[in-house]
Amino acid sequence: MDFDDTPDEAAWRSEVRSFIEEHRDRLGRRSNGREPDQAVARERQALLYDGGLVGITWPVEAGGRGGTPMQQAIVDQELARAEVPGLINLIGIGMCGPTVIHHGSDDQRARYLRRLLRAEDVWCQLFSEPASGSDLAALRTRAVRTEDGSWRVSGQKVWTTLAHVADYGILLTRTDPDVAKHRGLTMFVVDMKAPGVTVRPLRQMSGGADFNEVFFDDVVIPDEERLGEVGDGWRVALTTLMSERLSLGGGGTDIGAGPDAVAAHVAAHLDGLDEGRQSLVRQELGRAYVASLANRYTGYRLLSKISKGEMPGPEASAGKLSGTKVARDLADLAVRVLGDEAAYGATADGAHGWQDLQAGLPGMAIAGGTNEVLRNIIGERVLGLPAEPRADKGITFAESLKGSLA
Amino acid sequence: MNFDLDDEQRDLAAAARDFLSDVASPGAARTALDDGADVAPGRAALAKSGFATITVPEEAGGGGGSVLDLAVVAEQAGRVLAGPSLVTYARAAVLLAGDARLAALADGSLAVAVVDGSAPVLDAVGADTFLARRGDDVLVGGGTVTRREPIDPTRGLGDVALGDDLTVVAGDAALRWQHAERVGRVVLAAEGLGTASRALEIGVEYAQQRQAFGRAIGSYQAVKHALVDVYVQVEQLRSLVWWAAWAADQAPEELPLAAAAAKAAAATALEQAAETLIQVHGGIGFTWEHDAHLFWRRAKVDRLLLGDDVAAYDEVARLAMAGAR
C-alpha cells in the first residue's frame, strides 16, 4: 500500500506540471463566482489541447491522446492544484463527444470532434425536460420525419448547462410514442443556431445563470445528424450517461471549498464565539472534516483501481452522494461562524463567497443524478436489493401519458 | 497510487476469517450475555493463533507484522464479535516494547489489560496484569477487577483498582502512551468496520427476503436508502481504517489525525449500522432472540472506548484548525 505515483505516472505528472508552469499567465486563475469570459475560456482550452492536455482518454483518430483514465486524473489534479479554471467544454468532452465517437458517422466524427476538443465549438446536452428529470425516458420532445427524410423537432428542454453559449448539442427526442417509453427515442446532433431554437437562461437560487430552458419550434434536423438508429436513442443515451458518471466520478477531489479552507476560516472566527459555542462548532467541524477525509481516501481507492486499469463500477456513485453532503455541511458551518452577519447575503465588508457557495450547493445534490437516484443505483446494483415496481411498465408511452393525465 | 490491500493481506484476512468464524460468533456473544460465559475465542486461543500478536516483533515470539496487518485481522474479529479485543494486544505490544514481558504477551501467559485513569477498562475481566500510566512512567502490575452489569459482555469491561506492586516498564510514557492509544484507536476502528459491515449484510439479506404489501421490503426506497447510507459509511470507514493503519506503519506525522478520524467515524458508522439493522427487521429486530441487539450492544459500548466519539471529533477539529492556520 502506498500513495505514490508509478514511475510512468510521475513522469507524466512532471510533464503536465511543466506545461502549466510554462503557460502560467495565459492559463489564468479560478475566480470566485463570476462567469469567465467565454472567448478567454475557449482560448484556454485550445491552448491546453495544443499542449496535449485535453481529450487524454479519447482515441487518437478522434483527435485525442489515446491515454489512460489515470493520466486524465493526473491532469485534473494538476490543473486543480494550479487553480486553472475548469474547461468550458467539460460537458462536450465528458458526454457529447464520447456519444459522437461511439454512435456518429465518419463524417460527423471528422466535422465535430477535433473542434470540440479545441473549444472551437462548445457543446451542450439536451436531455432533461420539464416533465422528465430523473425519469429521463419519459421525455416528450417530438421528432417527426418529413417527406424529404429530414426531421422536424418540437418541444422543450430544461436545466441545460451552457446552452446559451453552445454551438451544438446532443438532443434526445421521441420518435415513436406508440411503443414502450425506452424504445421510441432517437438521438440527434442539433445546431444550436438553427432557426426555431430559442434559449432562455434560467436564474438559479444562487443568483448564477449557467442553466437554460431551450425551446424547439419546428426545428429541421437533417437525417445525417442522427446518432445511432431510429428508436435506439435510449441505448445511445446510456453511452452519454455512463461517460458522465465517469467524468463526475469522485477520485478524491473536493466539491465546494475544501475542508482546509473551511477549517482555516472557522479557526479565524472561533475566538469571537463564547466557550460553549466554540465546542459545538468544533463538533460540527470535526464531523464534516472526518466526512471529507473519508471521501478523499475513498476517492483514492477508486483512483488506485483506475491506476491498475480497472474501471470503476456503480459503487463510484457513492462519491458524489457523500461529497455533496460534506460540501453542504462545510459551507453551512462556514456561514454559521459569521455570527449575526450570517443572516445577510454579504458581510459588512462586502464579502459573500461563503454565502454564494452555500446557495449553490443544494443544486449539486440534484444535478448529474439526484441523491435518490444514486441511492437506488447503489441499492440495486451494489447491494442487490430489488427494484421498485414501475407503473408504466408493459405499456406504450402514449398510454402512460393518458394514465398520468387521468 | 496503490491504496489497496495486497495479496498477502487478502490471504491474511481469509485465514483470520476461517479461524475466527470457527471460534467466535454472535451465538457465543449471546451465551456470554445470558449465562456469563467466557468471551470467545478467549485469550488462550487468540494467543495460540498468533493473530493477536501480529505486531509483536518476531524475536519476542510475535508475528513481526504491521499495524495494517493487525487491522485486517481485527476487521474479521469484529464481524463475529470476538473477544478479548485486539485493541488490548495492540496497545500492550507498544507499551511493553523492549520489555521482557512482551514474550509473555506473545506466548499467552500474560493476561493483560490497559488502564486509562478511572475509565472502564477494556478486557479487565480475566486479566491479571495491568498496564497503567503515572506521570512519565508506564507501569505494570496486579490489580483487583470489579465486574459491573455489562451492556456488551464481549468487551469484558470492569473497574480496576491497581495493586501496590507496580513496577516501571518504561520512562517515556508521554510519547509511548499516546502512540499506544492511537494504534489502539486504529484497531478499534478496524473491529468496528467488521461489526458494521456484518450488520449491513444481515440487514440486506433480510430486506431481500421479507415481504410486505406484496413485495420485498428492500424494494421500498425508505428501506433501501437507509441500507445504502450504511453501505456508504462502511466503505468510507474502510478507507479511513486503511489510511490510519498505513500511517501508524509508514507516516507517524499523519497518525494523530488519521487515528482520531478513524475512531470517530467508526463510532458513528457502527451506531448507524446497528440501529438500521434493528429498524429494517421491524418487530423481530428488537427481540432478545434476534442477534441484532448483540451488534447494537457493541456499538453502544465501543463509541465510548479510547476516548468517546465527541472527544475524537473535537480532536480532529483542533488538528484541522492547527494544520490550516
Confidence (pLDDT) at A244: 67
Instruction: Render pLDDT for B223-265 as a digit per residue (tens, 0 to 9).
Output: 999 999 999 999 999 999 999 999 999 999 999 999 999 999 9
Chain B residues inside the 8 Å CB shell of A5: 1
Which grid cell sits at B43?
485469550
Chain B residues with beta carbon closer than 8 angstroms to that of A283: 310, 313-314, 317
Strand locations in A149-267, DSSP E? 151-157, 168-174, 185-191, 197-202, 211-221, 226-227
Cell numbers linked to A343: 443572516
Q: Greater confidence, B61 or A208?
A: B61
**Peptide bond preceding A36 in cis form (omega within 30 of 0):** no
Q: What is the pLDDT of residues A58-97, one digit of tens each?
A: 999 999 999 988 899 899 999 989 989 989 999 999 999 9
Is pLDDT of A177 > 60? yes
A380 to chain B: which residues are within 8 Å by CB? 224
pLDDT (tens digit per residue) in A286-302: 999 999 999 999 999 99
Q: Give the three cell numbers for residue A8.
A: 510512468
With pLDDT > 70 as the criterion, what percentage of chain B qualifies? 100
Of B242, B250, B261, the CB nearest to A293: B261
- Is B313's CB within 8 Å of A389's CB? no
How does DSSP assign A231-254, residue by residue? T-HHHHHHHHHHHHHHHT--TTPP
CA distance B298 to B278: 13
The neighbouring-strand residues paired with A200 are: A213
Looking at residues A184-198, what average pLDDT do you find?
A: 98
Judged by a CB distance cut-off of 8 A, whether residue A302 touches chain B is no
- CB distance B156 to B39 below 8 Å: yes
In this model, does residue A249 exceed pLDDT 50? no
In this prediction, residue A36 carries a pLDDT of 62
**pLDDT, mean of residues B83-109:** 96
Structure confidence by residue, pLDDT tens digits, B11-64? 999 999 999 999 999 999 999 999 999 999 999 999 999 999 999 999 999 999
Could you give phi then psi for residue A135, rounded to 5 degrees? -90, 65
225-264 in A: which are within 8 Å (CB) of B? 259-261, 263-264
Give percent of chain A with pLDDT exceeding 90.
Answer: 81
Which chain B residue has the Cα nearest residue A320? B232
Cβ <8 Å between B3 and A372: no
Per-residue pLDDT at A307: 85
Do residues A392 and A403 touch, judged by C-beta distance below 8 A? Answer: yes
Q: Is B313 in contact with A286 (Cβ distance < 8 A)?
A: yes
A149 falls in which pLDDT band (50, 70, 90)? Answer: very high
CB–CB contact B227 A385 (8 Å): yes
ipTM above 0.90 for this complex: yes
Is A293 in CB contact (< 8 Å) with chain B? yes
Contacts of B5 in chain A (CB under 8 A): 1
Residues of B in contact with A1 (CB under 8 A): 2-6, 68, 242, 246
Check CB contact under 8 Å for A297 and B220.
no
Place A315 in a pLDDT band, splitting at 50, 70 and 90: confident
Question: For cell 420539464, what's the residue?
Answer: A130
The pLDDT assigned to A404 comes to 66
Could you confirm whether A244 is annotated as catalytic? Answer: yes
Angle at A390 between CA A388 and CA A393, to 5 degrees: 140
Confidence of residue A239 (pLDDT cuts 50, 70, 90): confident
Q: What is the pLDDT of residues B268-311, one digit of tens each?
A: 999 999 999 999 999 999 999 999 999 999 999 999 999 999 99
Residue of A244, A310, A380, A399 with catalytic role: A244
Which residues on chain B are in Cβ contact (under 8 Å) with A384?
A: 204, 208
CATH of the domain spanning B175-324 = 1.20.140.10
- Return the residue in A383, A388, A390, A393 with the most chain B beta carbons within 10 A, the one to mutate for interface testing: A383
A338 close to B (CB below 8 A): no
Residue A282 has pLDDT above 90, yes or no: yes
The predicted pLDDT at position A245 comes to: 60
Write out residues 243-302 of B within 8 Å (CB-CB) of A.
Answer: 243, 246, 250, 257-258, 261, 264-265, 268
**A373-377: average pLDDT:** 95
User: pLDDT tens digits for A346-359?
Assistant: 999 999 999 999 99
Cell of A312: 470503476
The shortest CB-CB distance from B6 to any of A1, A260, A282 is to A1
DSSP tally for chain A: helices H, then strands E: 14, 8
Closest CA of chain B from A80, distance in Å: 18
Residues of A in contact with B316 (CB under 8 A): 285-286, 289-290
Predicted local distance difference test score (pLDDT) of residue A322: 94
Residue among A301, A315, A383 whose CB faces B204 most closely: A383
Which chain B residues in 199-238 lie under 8 Å from chain A, judged by CB atoms? Answer: 204, 207-208, 215-216, 218-221, 223-225, 227-229, 231-232, 235-238
User: Domain coordinates of chain A in residue numbers?
Assistant: 7-88, 123-236, 248-381
At A24 the pLDDT is 95
Quick one: what percent of chain B has pLDDT higher than 90? Answer: 98
What's the CATH code, domain A123-236? 2.40.110.10
Confidence of residue A118 (pLDDT cuts 50, 70, 90): very high
pTM, full prediction? 0.95
Is A247 a residue whose pLDDT tops 70? no
Asked whether the predicted pLDDT for residue A14 surpasses 90, the reply is yes
Number of A/B CB contacts below 8 angstroms equals 171
Whole-Å CA distances, A338 to A63, A335, A341, A359, B286: 49, 6, 5, 16, 44
Domain A248-381 has CATH 1.10.10.60: no
